[in-house]
Amino acid sequence: MSVMVHLNSLAIAGKCGVVSAVALWNLQRSEEKGPISDMENAQVLLIQIVLVMGIPALYHAVLEEVAHLSDPFGDKPRDFQRRACHEAMRRECEALQMAGEQPPLEALQVTEEFEVRE
């Protein structure tokens, strides 16, 4: 996934660079060959600057979240606490083991009263 994000960032940089170069060239050329809107070219240039900075930042943020979600038991403060999860699982397993060894009286009464009908 990271290769795709980096290739996409390079493609966006190339595309925005070409479009920005055309907009800058149109801003500098004279209007003898044809009418040119300076405002339109300035808007195109501004949009390309926003795109070249915004889209890769968003994609890299998503890539960072994917990397974080792929390893939830890391050592960072945002990660799940490994010891707390381990302790909760240990308590649940011990309770299940104890319930199997010494079932509650109500459970024993229900199993004795239960009849299988065929």
* Residue with token string 């479009």: 19
Reported pTM:
0.56
- The predicted-structure confidence for 97-115, as pLDDT tens digits, reads as follows 998 888 888 888 888 888 7
pLDDT above 80 for 34:
no
Concatenated DSSP letters of 33-83? SS---HHHHHHHHHHHHHHHHHHHHHHHHHHHHHHHHH-TTSSSTTS--HH
Residue-level pLDDT at 103: 85
Residue-level pLDDT at 99: 86
- The predicted-structure confidence for 37-89, as pLDDT tens digits, reads as follows 889 999 999 999 999 999 999 999 999 888 878 877 777 777 777 788 889 99
End-to-end CA distance of the chain: 57
Of 8, 86, 15, the closest CA to residue 47 belongs to 15
pLDDT above 90 for 32:
no
- What H or E segment, with its residue span, contains residue 108? helix 105-113
